[in-house]
Amino acid sequence: MKNYKECIDALSKSSFRSRFHLKKKDLEYVKEKGIETIRKHAYDFIVTRLAPAKIDNDGKQTPMRNHPVFIAQHATATCCRVCLEKWYKIEKGRKLTDDEIEFIVNLIMFWIEKEVNHANKN
């Protein structure tokens, strides 16, 4: 799999993916909960909503707001199995491996930390 920066760079060329950013309330939530809690949330969301071999509502399982991880999933194309297949060649119809789950969570967290760092500079 590619490194996280390469993935983010590729995604930034997509007009859809590049429009996602954490809003003030999302940034405050990350600060309030702490980055490790957000990582746990990301892991839980991926394991329950993305990792199974069959997902009844695939393509609709990730809301577009109300949690920083959801925003990050859309920004990083880790929101559904269709996007995982298109962007990362992780095929649908089988359970995600532990390595794939780790990659996805780390990519989400890389994006969130980039957003937080950018907000702190402004």
In this structure, are residues 107 and 97 in contact, taking their beta carbons and an 8 Å threshold?
no
* pLDDT mean across residues, the chain: 93
Task: Return the number of other C-beta atoms located less than 10 Å from residue 52's C-beta.
Answer: 14
Query: For residues 91 and 56, what is the distance between their CA atoms, to the nearest angstrom?
Result: 16
DSSP conformation class of 18: G
Decide if pLDDT at 63 tops 90.
no
Half-sphere exposure of 26 (CA within 13 A, CB side): 18
Give me 121's structure tokens. 């500079």
Output the pLDDT for position 56: 83
What percent of the chain clears pLDDT 90, i.e. is strictly above it? 84
Segment (H or E) for 99:
helix 98-121
pLDDT digits (tens, 9 = 90+) for 83-99: 999 999 999 999 999 99
